[in-house]
Structure formats: structure tokens, C-alpha cells
Amino acid sequence: MELAWDSLDLKDLLAEVNAEKRGEMDGSNNVPGHSDVLSQTERDIFSEVKEHYQDQLEISQAQVLVMETEITQCVSLTRSNGHSQTFGNEKQNWMVAKKQYFLDLDVASERYEKIAAKIRAFRIQNNILAGREPVVRTTTKLVIACLIPIFMAATEVGMNIFALAPIIGGEAITYSLLVSAINIGFAFYLGRMCITNLMHPVGTSASRLNYILGTIFIFLLIAYVNTFMAVFRGANEIALTSIGDINQMQQLMKDAVYQAVAPWNHFDKITAGSVQIMLIAITFSFFSMIDGYFFDDPINGYGKLGRSQAKAHSELTVLAKKGSKLIKDFLHQAKDTLRSKRNERHAGNKKWSLIINTFDQSLKDSFPRFNRETKSTLETAINSYRTKNKIFRTEPLPDFMTNPVDTTWIKDFVELHSSVNHHFLEDAERIKKHDESEILINKEYESTVDLYTEYFGDEMDDVFKKLRGIQLDDS
């Protein structure tokens, strides 16, 4: 911010009051008289000049008040050790962040330890050898394992329709869907629930007899359904190839359903096409059973615990790795804030110096020049009027018109801006104070940086100590 005063233009003033014309008229009428103090024209000139002078003063005085407030702020910013305050604030912010991080770490560690304890208890309870870790299927692998039986079922349905459609027509779709659902679905269940519990019984398993009976039942069901289809297809194929009237052929096809209900009595109806259907069923049922067995860890419940452990381990590992980065990032951010505070104090010191220099320039140059120009304009305008007046007068000039123009109301900068007198400094003194403040700011900044380094070094040791106390295995 700079202080500046606009001088009143002489030509504009003379034109405004019409000084020369009024001087001629007043002089021709011998106005003003000897008993007067000032002529009206002179009063008008004085009024215009004083009004302009006062307007310029009001502007500068308002600016000076603003500048005085800025000086107070700059001095406060420069002299107070803002670095220490910033350091205190950053310590408080770090303690909040550290407390939250330790809380998150404790929660994650406790969750992991609980799951690890469950796995240890599961191993002991189910006589699992030490070192036998759970087979952990990722979500992607589990989805693929689910899609495999669906793909096999769709393939089997298509192959069965292809084999049955020429024999039984549209009914092939219904039979194919039903047979595929039984073959793939029950075979998958057999591998996932029965065989796994027979080979790896756990505490939650039912009695072994139940799984044996379940296995026998599923084998018999799959065998019955597929021999049913084999006999059914074979009987229908024989019916279609028999020579006779149409009524006899339709009766044989109806009999095929009843013959297929008890397939063990009609194995003679099985044809090459029937064998094809049985081979398809056996193949896809076998692979569906294998997929069910390896769908997850064969030890039921062990894979689920393993996934929970892996998730908790991953969360804890990520959180543990975050520790050193957290404090390093916080220290970097804190030092950035400290540098910003240092730069802010330097900027305040520089601004203070500029304002004080502005006062000095105004005191020594700008305002005295404004006063000289104002005085010159006033005297020139008055004398211009008096000269014209004298030329056209028939009587001598009154005594007051020969006296110097009164300019005692024009004051100096110090008198008119007294509120900031105590801020006036010579250039040498101002530069000295500015440089001393710069040195002080840098010194306080460097000492605070040392405090930051020491404090956050101790805090980093505290974080590492916390991390060393975390167990990342289930032993």
C-alpha cells in the first residue's frame, strides 16, 4: 500500500471560480472595499483549495489507520515465536493420529489373534497335523469352482438331448435337465459333504454311519436314474425299429416307461446308444464329485477359517506397513507447515519494512511536495485574482490584498497523522530492525526443526516398538 495525494490543478481551479473575469468586474466596481477582510472570490478560492486538501487528508488518514493495523499484525507475527506454537499444534495433531493408529492396530491384532486361536483349537480338536495349513481359495477360484459344475451340467444336458431327441423327441429336454441335475448336483454334494467328512471327520461332522449311508444312497440314486434312462432310451429305440403296425409301435413305446422303472429286470433293452448316455453320466458325475471334494479345503470348516485368517493377516500387515509411512508423511507435512509459518513471518517482516518506508517517504517527500503544490496553487490563484482586480480599480487596493496569502492552515505530515508518529524510523534504523528480525525468525525456525527431528525420532521409535510387539503368525 502506498500513500499518495493528488494536487489540485490550477487551471481547473481558476475556471471553477472564474477568477480573472470576477477580478475585472470586482476591480471596476472597487470591490472589495477597505473595510472588507476578503473578497467573495478569494473566499471561494480558499474554500475550493481547503475542501480538496481536506478530501485528500481524509483518504490518507483512512489508509494510515489500515496501515497501522497491519503494522501491529506484522510486529506481532514477527516478534512472537510462531514456530513454537506451530510445533505445539503439530504435536497435538500427531497424538490424535497416533492414538487412532494404535487403536486400529490393536483391533486388527486382536482380530487376527482370535482367528489364529480358533485355528489352533480347530487343529487340536480335529487331530490335524502341525504344519497342515488350511487350503485358502480366493474369491476368483471359488467362483470358478462354482462355474465348473454349471458348465458340466450344461454340457451333459446338450449331449443327452443330442442322444435322446431322435428317439423321444421334445421330451428329451425335460429328461436331460432332470438327469443332469441329479448327476451333477448329487455328485457335487457327495464330494463336498460325504467323502470329505468320511476322510477328514471334524467335530461338527455327523456320525460316520450317516455319511456312509448318504454315499450309498447317492451312488444308488445316480445308478438308478442313469440305468432308467439307458433302458428307457433302449426300449424306445427298439420300438422305433420294430416292424409292425403303428399301434403296436406306440404300445411298445408306452411299455418302455414301465420297463425303465425296474431297469434291473430289462438290461436286455440296453443298446449302444444307451451305453453312450451311461458313459456321459458316469464321466460328468465323477468330475463333479472331484470338483465338490476340492471346492474348498477337504477338511470342512478349515478353509473358511483359513480365509478369515488370511484376510485378518492381510489387514494387519497393511496396517503395520502403514506405521512408518504414517509418521514420515506426518513429519513431512509438519515441516511443510513450519516452513509456511517461517515464510509467513518473513512476509510480515517485509511488509512491516515496506509500510515504515512508505511513512518515511511520505514524511520526507510525498506529503511536503503535496503541501508545496497546494500552497503554490492557492497563492497563484489569489494573486491572479488580485492582479486583475488592481488593473481595473480606480481606488488603491485595500491593505489586506497586499498582504501574503494565509497558508498557516497547511500542516506537515507528522501533525496531521499523529497516530503513527511512533512508527517513524530512519532508513538505517529500519533496515537494522528488519535484518535483526530476519535473523531471529531463521534462528527460531532452525531450533524448532531440531525439536521436530528429536520429537518425531522418539515417536518413530515408539511406533516401531509397537509394531515389534505384533505377532504375524499363528504359532
Q: Domain residues for 263?
A: 139-296
What are the C-alpha distances in Å from 291 to residues 186, 188, 271, 288?
Answer: 12, 7, 30, 5
Torsion of CA 76, 79, 84, 85, to 10 degrees: -10
Of 296, 330, 364, the residue at which a domain comes to its end is 296
327 pLDDT more than 90: no
Confidence band of 274 (pLDDT split at 50, 70, 90):
confident
Residue 324 and residue 284 share a domain: no
**CA separation for the pair 256, 228 (Å, rounded):** 10
pLDDT of residue 170: 73
Of 265, 296, 327, the residue at which a domain comes to its end is 296
- Of residues 137 and 388, more confidence is placed in 388
Which stretch, 29-33, 121-125, 193-197, 367-371, has highest mean pLDDT? 367-371
- Of residues 172 and 356, more confidence is placed in 356
Confidence band of 447 (pLDDT split at 50, 70, 90):
confident
337 pLDDT more than 60: yes
pLDDT of residue 1: 62
**CA separation for the pair 470, 475 (Å, rounded):** 13
Confidence band of 224 (pLDDT split at 50, 70, 90):
confident
Domain assignment present for 185: yes
Residue 463 and residue 379 share a domain: yes
Residue 291 and residue 320 share a domain: no
What are the C-alpha distances in Å from 463 to residues 105, 111, 113, 240, 327?
Answer: 11, 20, 20, 84, 8
Comparing 8-12, 167-171, 398-402, the range with the smallest average pLDDT is 167-171
129 pLDDT more than 70: yes
Of 296, 326, 354, the residue at which a domain comes to its end is 296
**CA separation for the pair 207, 73 (Å, rounded):** 85
pLDDT of residue 53: 93
Domain assignment present for 332: yes
User: For the segment 361-385, what is each residue's pLDDT rounded down to a tens digit?
Assistant: 888 899 899 999 999 999 999 999 9
Domain assignment present for 358: yes
**Average pLDDT of 337-351?**
88
Q: How many domains does the chain have?
A: 2
Residue 179 and residue 54 share a domain: no
243 pLDDT more than 60: no
What are the C-alpha distances in Å from 110 to residues 104, 114, 286, 385?
Answer: 10, 6, 43, 100
What is the radius of gyration, based on Cα positions, of the chain? 53
Domain assignment present for 110: no
**Average pLDDT of 273-284?**
81
83 pLDDT more than 80: no
Residue 271 and residue 188 share a domain: yes
Q: What is the pTM of this model?
A: 0.59
Residue 326 and residue 440 share a domain: yes
Domain assignment present for 323: yes
**Average pLDDT of 339-356?**
88
Domain assignment present for 148: yes
pLDDT of residue 140: 81
Residue 456 and residue 427 share a domain: yes
Domain assignment present for 462: yes
Residue 284 and residue 161 share a domain: yes
Is the CB of residue 244 less than 8 Å from the CB of residue 201?
no
Domain assignment present for 134: no
**Average pLDDT of 218-242?**
78
Exposure string of 224-262, with b = 16+ CB inside 10 Å and e = fewer, is ebbbbbbbbbbbbbebeeeeeeeeeeeebbeebeebbee
